[in-house]
Chains A and B, each alone.
Chain A
Amino acid sequence: MKEPLDLTPLTQSIHDYLLSYLSPFWTTTVEWVIIGVLLIAFVALSVMGLVYIERKVAAFFQLRLGPNRVGKWGLLQTLADFLKLLMKEHITSKNADKFLFNLAPFIIVIASFLAIGAIPFALGLQAMDINIGLFYITAASSIGVLGILIGGWAGNNKYSLIGALRSGAQVVSYEISAVLSLLTIVVLSGSLQLSTIIESQSDGWWIFKGHLPVFIAFIMFLIAGTAETNRGPFDLAEAESELTAGFHTEYSGIKFAMFFLAEYVNLFIIAAVGATVFLGGWMPFHIGNWAAFNEVMNYIPPVIWFFFKVGFVIGLIMWFKWTFPRLRIDQLLVLEWKYLLPINLVNLIVVAFIAMMGWYF
């Protein structure tokens, strides 16, 4: 029986190699530095990729070609844009609160980086496999709204303030729905640890095993996740046609780029959490006891499975953005508190009942 490709021996051998030269303290330190550098490089590359993909997807929806001049098929367009933003002037308006104004982009980026540390990319390729992984990710990513609130306030612009307050109300509300829909899987798998949640899907992903309630939870998670990342149709914090650029109206150059970066990292995190919890993470597509079929599937490396699923979820979220009009702030809150929250609560009780009776596959 072919097992999915396990990267634990690789990481273990690096660890042993370092340990043979250094003391345990320095080993850990060096490992953290390596992981930090790798994550930053990954984030930078994946955001550039995501921006490029988003522009191509948008072009596909809008009967356009998208970027096609800089580099082959416009692949270097994002790099060129990044360099442009890097070289632009930092404008701080006269009456801005300078300390908070400069702090806000860092808070929002740090929150995204904290959350991405616990994402399992493949078997054995996870920076921190802590026992409250899911809780940690939701907690870390919710710090980001502080950055939005501070940034909107400190710019001393009325448009940014409106955008920031909208975003505050929105993220706080939709956090509840996102967490409640994730809790359904926590109830079913009995763990908050991401590796355990993935292990529990080795004979089928939860979205197939958990009947209708889990499917509803997945839809709820998609809606709440889109709202949490402030993307269309829930991009009220930015709301180009109403608030010019919402909370980051006053930001220019690389500080604006940091908000932009955080938006795409958050998109990746939401998609990765959704893929991990509902679609089995790096776990290949398995069907019950079909040993031969499962073995064939195991030949595809887990990291490819992971990115395939993340890509699927990101594709769904981009599809929303480029199709739907934006909601109004009161409609947004009505949707959460009057529809999503009650449905989620009932759904959670149903799932708990299913889990108790053992009625899932």
Chain B
Amino acid sequence: MIEEVETKDAIKTQEYFVNMGPQHPSTHGVLRLMLELDGEIIKKVTPHIGYIHRSIEKMSEKDSYRQIVHLTDRMDYLSNHMNNEAVCLLVENALEVEVSDRVKVIRTIMSELTRLSSHQLWWGVMGMDLGALTTFLYAFRDREMINDIFEETCGARLTVNYNVPGGVMFDIHPNFQQRVKDFIKSFKTKLPEYDDLLSNNVIFRQRTEGVGILSKEDAISYGVTGPTGRASGFSNDTRKHKPYSAYDRVEFKEILMDKGDTFSRYKARILEMWESVSIIEQLIDNIPEGDIQEPSVKQVIKLPKGEFYQSVETARGELGVYVVSDGQKSPYRLKFRSPGFSNLFVLDHMVRGYKIADLVAMMSTIDLVIPDIDR
């Protein structure tokens, strides 16, 4: 694989390999990238995954549908609500159960709060990857407020496990609406700070603009979804195309960019935060009354025979759950289509010819969560 490169002075240089990870500050977990380098120029990137594989899909074949929900928290832990929601929606659709409007609205608010918290963390880490260490704690200051809201209503901050098939586990806390409103009010003043600190910085713009361009065709053929794909102009927002929960009754824009470079992917997420804020604002005062759990869903759920598919939009892209049921209390086979997996493998295509520093920036804008890739 390693070949010698002839230079004009007849001094021979050699391409070399560097193992980036599984322990590396900017692979955000235990991802291992094998870089083939010529000096600082990247010739090839081979991602090696599986360092945090916990066989969640196989475990699901032994678990009941109520138990599967709590495993999904451990996949993309920053999109915990959406992961839970995907399994719950699938079970409800398969059982042909309609949950109450109250549950739909609560789920939507929770999902958008999760999206906000995920994007906040991503923003902080993106700054850190580019060497601006201060962004991380600014992001955590705001993320803390969301985690407090989760803690109060769900009892957990990260692995919330709030959705259950047929509804949500508990009703919202009496403080919930007020705290969400407080958060929205404060975050609307904080979000412009993000632009001041990072987006409008000259060095940041130079590092990101025109770097790592992913064309729309490539985004589609690699199956790149979420903000990463939408920054290349690929309209793939599940919330728009296949609305679930209360997304059909709120107004929001699908953020589409046309350049597809690192900065577009960055900007897409910043704009998406504004959209999430707007969705929450539309719903928070209009939570209808109703049951929080559908009484017709039994404790032991048996899905009818057949194949079912449900997709939701997580903070990273389209999460699909595919279940083959043979009528038992556990699925015969369960498969997660995780957004991170598809998004990761476009990295090699994007990064060739760029430098190590650009690789870190691109990896950051793909917004990888390794447990989501490995499952």
Query: In the docked arrangement, what's the CA distance between A328 and B128, Å?
Result: 14
Known interface pairs A242-B357, A244-B25. Does A162 touch B40 (Cβ–Cβ under 8 Å)? Answer: yes
Select A330's contact among B132, B141, B355, beta carbons within 8 Å. B355
A326 interface hit (Cβ, 8 Å): yes
- Are B26 and A241 in contact, with the CB atoms below 8 A? yes
Query: In the docked arrangement, what's the CA distance between A147 and B129, Å?
Result: 27
Q: Please name all residues of chain A whose beta carbon is closer than 8 Å to the beta carbon of B201 when the two chains form the complex.
A: 324-325
Select B206's contact among A58, A244, A331, beta carbons within 8 Å. A331
Known interface pairs A63-B141, A232-B131, A239-B357. Does A325 touch B207 (Cβ–Cβ under 8 Å)? Answer: yes
Query: Which A residues between 320 and 361 are near B, CB-CB below 8 angstroms?
Result: 322-331
Residue-by-residue, is B14-47 near A (CB-CB < 8 Å gives 1, otherwise 0)? 0010100000111000000000000010000000
> Min CB distance, A280 to chain B, in Å?
31
A64 interface hit (Cβ, 8 Å): yes
B134 interface hit (Cβ, 8 Å): yes
Residue of A with least CB distance to B125: A241
Query: In the docked arrangement, what's the CA distance between A244 and B128, Å?
Result: 13
B247 interface hit (Cβ, 8 Å): no
Residue-by-residue, is B299-322 near A (CB-CB < 8 Å gives 1, otherwise 0)? 000000000000000000000000
B187 interface hit (Cβ, 8 Å): no
Q: Please name all residues of chain B whose beta carbon is closer than 8 Å to the beta carbon of A240 when the two chains form the complex.
A: 25, 131
> Min CB distance, A333 to chain B, in Å?
12
Known interface pairs A162-B40, A241-B128, A331-B207. Does A326 touch B25 (Cβ–Cβ under 8 Å)? Answer: no
Select A327's contact among B133, B198, B207, beta carbons within 8 Å. B207
- Are A325 and B355 in contact, with the CB atoms below 8 A? no
- Are A325 and B203 in contact, with the CB atoms below 8 A? yes
Query: In the docked arrangement, what's the CA distance between A64 and B134, Å?
Result: 10
A62 interface hit (Cβ, 8 Å): yes
Query: Which B residues between 119 and 140 are near A, CB-CB below 8 angstroms?
Result: 127-134, 136-138
A175 interface hit (Cβ, 8 Å): no
Select A328's contact among B132, B197, B198, B207, beta carbons within 8 Å. B207
Query: Which B residues between 325 and 375 are near A, CB-CB below 8 angstroms?
Result: 355-358, 360
- Are A323 and B356 in contact, with the CB atoms below 8 A? no
A211 interface hit (Cβ, 8 Å): no
Residue of B with least CB distance to A236: B357
A88 interface hit (Cβ, 8 Å): no
- Are A63 and B26 in contact, with the CB atoms below 8 A? no
For chains A and B in complex, what number of residue pairs have CB atoms within 8 angstroms?
78
Query: In the docked arrangement, what's the CA distance between A282 and B26, Å?
Result: 44
Q: Please name all residues of chain B whose beta carbon is closer than 8 Å to the beta carbon of A308 when the two chains form the complex.
A: none
Select A241's contact among B25, B134, B141, B204, beta carbons within 8 Å. B25
Query: Which B residues between 201 and 236 are near A, CB-CB below 8 angstroms?
Result: 201, 203-204, 206-207
Size of A's binding interface in residues, CB under 8 A? 27
Q: Please name all residues of chain A whose beta carbon is closer than 8 Å to the beta carbon of B138 when the two chains form the complex.
A: 62-63
Most buried by B among A64, A243, A328: A328
Q: Please name all residues of chain A whose beta carbon is closer than 8 Å to the beta carbon of B24 when the two chains form the complex.
A: 244
Select A323's contact among B128, B134, B141, B355, beta carbons within 8 Å. B134
Q: Is the interface of A mostly helix, strand, loop or mixed?
A: loop
Known interface pairs A325-B198, A327-B203, A331-B206. Does A62 touch B134 (Cβ–Cβ under 8 Å)? Answer: yes
A235 interface hit (Cβ, 8 Å): yes
Size of B's binding interface in residues, CB under 8 A? 30
> Min CB distance, B211 to chain A, in Å?
9
Query: In the docked arrangement, what's the CA distance between A210 and B201, Å?
Result: 30
Q: Please name all residues of chain B whose beta carbon is closer than 8 Å to the beta carbon of A325 when the two chains form the complex.
A: 127, 130-132, 198, 201, 203-204, 207
- Are A329 and B130 in contact, with the CB atoms below 8 A? no
Most buried by A among B16, B24, B132, B138: B132
Residue of B with least CB distance to A324: B203
Q: Please name all residues of chain A whose beta carbon is closer than 8 Å to the beta carbon of B207 when the two chains form the complex.
A: 325-328, 331
Residue of A with least CB distance to B35: A158
A233 interface hit (Cβ, 8 Å): yes
Residue of B with least CB distance to A245: B25
Select A162's contact among B127, B134, B356, beta carbons within 8 Å. B356
- Are A329 and B357 in contact, with the CB atoms below 8 A? yes
Residue of B with least CB distance to A323: B134
Query: Which A residues between 118 and 159 are near B, CB-CB below 8 angstroms?
Result: 158-159
Most buried by A among B130, B133, B136, B207: B133
> Min CB distance, A126 to chain B, in Å?
36
Known interface pairs A233-B203, A241-B128. Does A61 touch B357 (Cβ–Cβ under 8 Å)? Answer: no
Residue of A with least CB distance to B364: A241
- Are A235 and B131 in contact, with the CB atoms below 8 A? yes
> Min CB distance, A226 to chain B, in Å?
13
> Min CB distance, A187 to chain B, in Å?
31
- Are A326 and B357 in contact, with the CB atoms below 8 A? yes
- Are A326 and B130 in contact, with the CB atoms below 8 A? yes
Q: Please name all residues of chain A whose beta carbon is closer than 8 Å to the beta carbon of B355 when the two chains form the complex.
A: 328-330
- Are B357 and A159 in contact, with the CB atoms below 8 A? no
> Min CB distance, B40 to chain A, in Å?
6
Residue-by-residue, is A202-238 near B (CB-CB < 8 Å gives 1, otherwise 0)? 0000000000000000000000000000001101000
Select B18's contact among A58, A64, A159, A232, beta carbons within 8 Å. A159
Query: In the docked arrangement, what's the CA distance between A325 and B130, Å?
Result: 5
> Min CB distance, B91 to chain A, in Å?
41
Q: Please name all residues of chain A whose beta carbon is closer than 8 Å to the beta carbon of B25 when the two chains form the complex.
A: 240-241, 244
Q: Please name all residues of chain B whose beta carbon is closer than 8 Å to the beta carbon of A64 when the two chains form the complex.
A: 137
Residue of A with least CB distance to B19: A158
Residue-by-residue, is A14-46 near B (CB-CB < 8 Å gives 1, otherwise 0)? 000000000000000000000000000000000
Query: In the docked arrangement, what's the CA distance between A323 and B137, Å?
Result: 12
Query: In the docked arrangement, what's the CA distance between A105 and B358, Å?
Result: 30
Known interface pairs A327-B203, A329-B357. Does A241 touch B137 (Cβ–Cβ under 8 Å)? Answer: no
Closest 9 pairs between A and B when the two form their complex, measured CB to CB:
A326-B131, A325-B130, A325-B132, A62-B137, A241-B26, A328-B357, A241-B129, A325-B131, A325-B204
Measured CB to CB, the residues of A under 8 A from B are 58, 61-64, 158-159, 162, 232-233, 235, 239-244, 322-331
Given A322-B134, A326-B207, A328-B358; 12 other pairs, CB 8 A cutoff: A61-B134, A62-B134, A233-B203, A239-B357, A240-B25, A241-B26, A242-B357, A323-B134, A325-B198, A327-B203, A328-B207, A331-B207
28 intermolecular pairs with C-beta atoms under 8 Å apart: A61-B134, A62-B138, A63-B137, A232-B131, A240-B131, A241-B25, A241-B129, A241-B130, A241-B360, A242-B356, A242-B357, A242-B360, A243-B356, A244-B24, A322-B133, A322-B134, A323-B134, A324-B203, A325-B130, A325-B131, A325-B201, A325-B204, A326-B207, A326-B357, A328-B207, A328-B355, A329-B357, A331-B203
